[in-house]
Amino acid sequence: MSLPTEINVILATDCGSTTTKAILIERRDGAYRLVVRGEAPTTVEAPFEDVTRGVLNAVREVEEQSGREILDGDRIVSPAGGGRGVDIYVSTSSAGGGLQMMVAGVVKSMTAESAERAALGAGAIVMETLASNDGRLPHERIERIRQLRPDMILLSGGVDGGTKSHVVEMAELIAAADPRPRLGSGYDLPVIYAGNADAREDIARILTERTELSQVDNLRPVLEAEHLGPAREQIHTLFMEHVMAQAPGYGDLMAWTHVPIMPTPGAVGRMVRVVAERSGIDVLGVDIGGATTDVFSVFGGAFNRTVSANLGMSYSISNVLTEAGLENIARWLPFEMTDADLKDRMGNKMIRPTSIPQTMEELIIEQAVAREALRLAFEQHRNFAVELKGVQQLRTISDTFDQQTGGRSLVDLMNLDLIIGSGGVLSHAPSRAQAALMMVDAFQPEGITNLAVDSIFMMPHLGVLSTVHEAAALEVFDRDCLVHLGPCVAPVGTGSPGTPCATVRARTDDAEWTHEAALGELAAIPAGEADEVALEVVPSRGFDAGAGRGVTVARTVRNGPLGVIVDTRGRPLQQPEDAAERVETLQRDYRALNLFPESG
Amino acid sequence: MAHAYTSGLRVSARTVVARTRRLPLSGKVLVEVGDRVRPDTVVAETFLPGPVHNVNVANALAIAPEEVPGCMLKQRDEPVAKGELIAESKGIFGLFKSSVRCPESGIIEMVSEVTGQVLIREPSTPVRINAYLDGTVTETLPEEGVVVETAGACIQGIFGVGGETHALIRQIVQSPDDEVTGEMIDDRLRGRIVCCGSIITLDALRKLIEVGASGVVVGGMRYHDIGDLLGYQIGVAVTGGEDIGLTMIVTEGFGRLPMAERTFDLLRSMQDREASLSGATQIRAGVIRPEIIIRSDGGEAAADQVSAAGRGLETGSLIRLIREPWFGELATVASLPEEPVRLPTGAFARVLEARRTNGALVTVPRANVEIVET
């Protein structure tokens, strides 16, 4: 479908596993703004088995709220004219489990890891990573390939011109497994080959007969560089042509949209990248859902995405309990409760995932779980977002006592400028201050870090929109998507509780505040109603606020509901070992920030 | 959104239940439409390709990969027996030959001149699916499976563990509030589906497995007891493949929760009748709930009625409260205010007013109720 020359009215949908969300954007007085949002249950599953039903229902809700006529029967009116219709329609999708991939490479920490990065960056869930050195016997790898029914496989391995026998062997194992796709029994599984260019003929000979093979440029042409773009693009193309085409109703939906449907996380990742590139900042984005938690980051220009497939707030809430441990969840509760009771409550949330907390106690428990889910997902991300491994490094004598083996994490919390949270527990927290503190506790930012949430989970819509109209996407992102929660100031250094660690000054046009911070506190400087605050942090000797030990940092930041959060509880965050003392500390902190107004 | 509540669990004394029985790969359907089937009647079968074994012939014969095809004594697609010679080097003047024997019986699937590998695939293994229900075949899905239908009682649970089974029902308590403990379990429960009240202890569950009970249905269970029984905690509610010797179905939730009276009474009325039981649970899109299905005596199909959930929430609807502070209680809908209301947490949500069984009127988020289906 061709794009109109002038775009004034935009309709965007995100078809999630349970809900389809539609937004209407209009250009008014020269600026693109969100007009309304509508939602309806997703209809991919029986009894409807047609995704367009849910899309039409969500769009009808948009019509009702906006008063604009968008549908003509079951058709989206486009282009806009005479006060009806839209100029463009774009969509993302994660319905039916999203895009599920298997990746394979030769060396686990090199080409297999690069392939994993390419798949994750494209918005996929990586079900399995195979490598020649993954410790499994060939028949075990074949069994694994057969058990899984991915939507597609990405095969990589070897640098261009290097040895090809290992990657060819991996192709032989894939052929022997004769893998079947998850959706649609009548077509061959798409396999993308993005490995050693010299092995292409052999790969074609082995895989063409049994799979839908496509070949793109090597994603690791030399050890020193990754070239993930072509593989990522091919994943998006195949997602549309093969995977989505098999899902019920998507054939029609694809014909309606002006640009290809993107996997939801792929679109969110794109938006995070666009925001980081525009301002030249390091950004961390997180989307915590019912089943999974996605983490996106741009550090020093390098984009990474991880998906923690079983860390979520409902379907997989019990898995958070298993992975974090009961004591780690209980450490965020300002009251005591028995282990059995806490476990039962989480089990009951798992089996009744759509229920919501009605009491303050239940809300606090859910937010405690969220802190741990976010912490674990971030830990996984930190371990994955690393420098390329296997790259030769030139060393000098001065490196003798500081030898790095490569693979150093790119995540640098001290340089992180902005954290964007989304997902029900953050975006719909009864108070924005609760969302801010959940992120502070989970990510433990250092120095000065701005916090924000995606107000109504619009980033997928804006991400896919940015592929056709980046300016419109960024305007709506700035004006209607982000809700600023204020900065967190966390000077880093060591000392005993009560040691003075920084002087924090916040200034607006109307007033000025000064806070003398001592180690072991959680405090907030209420900075009035101003949108922006001029912040000056003077760290004590031995403490770093972002510019080095004892060096003053001055920055203009966005204000938030709590004003400026000052967190001097230490990095890593220190909590009392004794349960009663910990409860008392939490009660004190929560009261000081008026976090749970009715909890006392 | 149109439905902001959890659709309820079905507890019906008389309904029509149809279950699709599908092969994992295409195969052969063994029954026809109209055939009367028992739960263990095999309705379709297929053959799974056998496991693959690889032998690196190039390494074994100390030759280059491209020389491997020339040294093969057995070619692609030829059957081979375990221990049989499949490749031999040419040697020096016909002497000092090296050879490779086949590790497993099967068929030579591939000979690679790039890696020097030979792949041998073992014979296929049969996979059969049974009817699961005591009923009639109403549809055949060519090469895929069948639809089996039966008329009778259907009870859905909220959470289950273990696969499909069928056995006679035996209720061992007098009231939905009763607890089942170890001393109540004996050999007479072998091969039975044991129906309990509000909770069963871990000790009693272990004894049920010991005596060989086929299944257990109970109102509540401690979450960590399931973990103790399985040896690992269930993190995501996708179950059905566990092998602990019996199938478990929890009807209400985790903790001590009296079984809903309707469920309890229905199970009581089915004492000593044969039931099909499945513990498979999937709580995501495409929800699967554990179930107990009992064919009615007459076996004739009854017309399915519009369920309570299909009609949506109405004043007077019987509901279950599924979240604290009244978790597990039954109530009736007193009114359905349109506007969102501020909850004690500070969040705004669409709510309903519910009358509890003690007569008290309470405000509950619509997301925190389930319609009790009848």
**Worst-scoring range by mean pLDDT, A443-457, A498-512, B274-288?**
B274-288
Checking if the pLDDT of A18 tops 80, the result is no
Give pLDDT tens digits for B141-157.
998 899 999 999 999 99
Give pLDDT tens digits for A257-291.
999 999 888 999 999 999 999 999 999 999 998 88
Residue B95: the pLDDT is 72
Place of tokens 């101003």: A530
**Minimal Cα distance from B119: which residue of A?**
A176
Q: A222-258 burial string, b = 16+ CB within 10 Å, else e?
A: ebeebbbebbbebbbebbbebbbebbbbbeebbebbb
B93 Cα to chain A: minimum distance (Å)? 31
Checking if the pLDDT of B1 tops 70, the result is no
Check A39 against B1: CB less than 8 A apart: yes
pLDDT band at A94 (very low <50, low <70, confident <90, very high): confident
DSSP A159-195: -TTS--HHHHHHHHHHHHH----SS-TTSPPEEEE-S
Residue B5: the pLDDT is 43
Residue B309: the pLDDT is 46
Whether chain A has a CB inside 8 Å of the CB on B34: the answer is no
Check A345 against B324: CB less than 8 A apart: yes
Give the pLDDT mean for A475-479.
94
Check B51 against A362: CB less than 8 A apart: no
CA distances from B16 to B20, B149, B260 (A): 13, 7, 22
In chain A, where does the domain assigned CATH 3.30.420.40 lie? 9-95
Residue B299: the pLDDT is 47
Range A98-249: architecture per CATH: 3-Layer(aba) Sandwich (3.40)
Percent of chain A with pLDDT over 70: 95
Check A176 against B109: CB less than 8 A apart: yes
Between residues B26 and A319, which one has the greater pLDDT? Answer: A319
Give pLDDT tens digits for A136-183.
888 788 888 877 888 899 999 999 999 898 999 999 989 888 887 776
Nearest to residue A453, comparing CAs of A471, A474, A433? A433
Between residues B76 and A2, which one has the greater pLDDT? Answer: B76
SS (H, E, C) chain B: CCCCCECCCEEEEEEEEEEEEECCCCCEECCCCCCEECCCCEEEEEEECCCEEEEEHHHHHCCCHHHHHHHECCCCCCEECCCCEEEECCCECCECCCEEECCCCEEEEEECCCCCEEEEECCCEEEEEECCCCEEEEEEECCCEEEEEEEEEEEECCEEECCEEEEEEEECCCCCCCEECHHHCCHHHCCEEEECCCEECHHHHHHHHHHCCCEEEEEEECHHHHHHHHCCCCCCCEECCCCCCCEEEEEEEECCCCCCHHHHHHHHHCCCCEEEEECCEECCCCCECCEEEEECCCCCCCCCCCCHHHHCCCCCCEEEECCCCCCCCEEEEEECCCCCEECCCCCEECEEEEEECCCCEEEEEHHHEEECEC
Give pLDDT tens digits for B71-112.
999 998 999 999 999 999 887 777 778 899 999 999 998 898
CB proximity list for B32: less than 8 A, separation 6 or greater: B137, B140
Query: What residue ranges do the domains of chain B occupy?
Result: 11-19+150-295, 52-121, 308-371
Residue A37: the pLDDT is 93
Residue A237: the pLDDT is 85
pLDDT band at A406 (very low <50, low <70, confident <90, very high): low
Check: CB of residue B24 under 8 Å from CB of residue B140.
no
Give the pLDDT mean for B65-72.
92
Give pLDDT tens digits for A192-229.
999 999 999 999 999 998 899 999 999 999 988 888 98
Nearest to residue B6, comparing CAs of B265, B364, B325? B364
pLDDT band at A397 (very low <50, low <70, confident <90, very high): low
How many C-beta neighbours within 10 Å does residue A60 have? 15
Cα(A426)–Cα(B214) distance, integer angstroms: 44
Give pLDDT tens digits for A100-141.
899 999 999 899 999 999 999 888 888 899 999 998 888 788
Residue B238: the pLDDT is 83
The fold of B308-371 is SH3 type barrels. (2.30.30)
Range A9-95: architecture per CATH: 2-Layer Sandwich (3.30)
| B11-19+150-295 placed in CATH 3.50.30 | yes
Residue A354: the pLDDT is 83
User: Which DSSP state fits A409?
Assistant: B
**Minimal Cα distance from B227: which residue of A?**
A322
Give the pLDDT mean for A332-351.
93
Q: Kindly list the residues from chain A whose CB atom is less than 8 angstroms away from the CB atom of residue B323.
A: 348, 352, 355-358, 362
Checking if the pLDDT of A14 tops 90, the result is yes
Whether chain A has a CB inside 8 Å of the CB on B362: the answer is no
Give the pLDDT mean for A325-334.
95
Whether chain B has a CB inside 8 Å of the CB on A175: the answer is yes
Q: Kindly list the residues from chain A whose CB atom is less than 8 angstroms away from the CB atom of residue B112.
A: 168-169, 172, 206
- Best-predicted range by mean pLDDT among A38-52, A242-256, A479-493, B47-61? A479-493
Check A168 against B285: CB less than 8 A apart: no
Residue A140: the pLDDT is 82
Between residues B241 and B343, which one has the greater pLDDT? Answer: B343
This model of the complex carries an ipTM of 0.85
Check B110 against A172: CB less than 8 A apart: yes
pLDDT band at B303 (very low <50, low <70, confident <90, very high): very low
Residue A599: the pLDDT is 43
**Minimal Cα distance from A292: which residue of B?**
B236
